Structure 1
Amino acid sequence: MFKKILILCLFFYFLTLFQNSFLVHFNIFNLIPNFVLISVVVIVIKEKAKDNLGFFSAFIAGFFLDVFSQNFIGWNILILIGIVIAVKILKKYLRPVFGLRKSAINLILN
């Protein structure tokens, strides 16, 4: 578990740095793609129901987004943890789609 969290820390650090320094120049209709949010949602969708890796990833990603932004510290953490809770609730009550079990994200998380 410690190894996964360390990999997530490095992954979200570089992804947040890439998003806030490079992707700012490629805005479409003054919107910047949020790859950190997409990554957190994909991790939560791919994890097992009993795992808490989604909460760790939301906290880590939100922390790095807060450090690199001008908002209050903790704002992005709360938003991402709320999204993780919503996705976990939806995942509990919705039928899984076939074909989503085998992907590249499984290689990272396993």
Structure 2
Amino acid sequence: MKFLEHLSQKHAFICLQEHWLWTFEKDYIDKHIPGMMNHSRCHDVNDPISNFQIPRGRGGVAILWPSSLDSHVKKLEDGNERIIAIEIQTRNKATCLVNAYMPTKNPTLT
């Protein structure tokens, strides 16, 4: 968390892959990185689990940005638990920021 706090002070947008949070834990980001908004999805987004069934987390992606830029950011609903996107509106155009976590099972690439 200290590293994320440090990043949030120096960078406008942060992309996280494999954050290991479950849907019922998503507010963890809000609590521990103040001043940042986020769009996040968890591994159990399509099949939620309760905190009584909690195995170790898997996958999950998030995009964080300063709350001061929130009026310029639109969360896009496309994607799944491994791909999310936001639209950032600037003066003349919109930019789409996509965050994807695509691990491989190929042992020669690890």
- TM-score with structure 2 length normalisation? 0.31
- TM-score with structure 1 length normalisation? 0.31
Higher helix share: 1
Higher strand share: 2
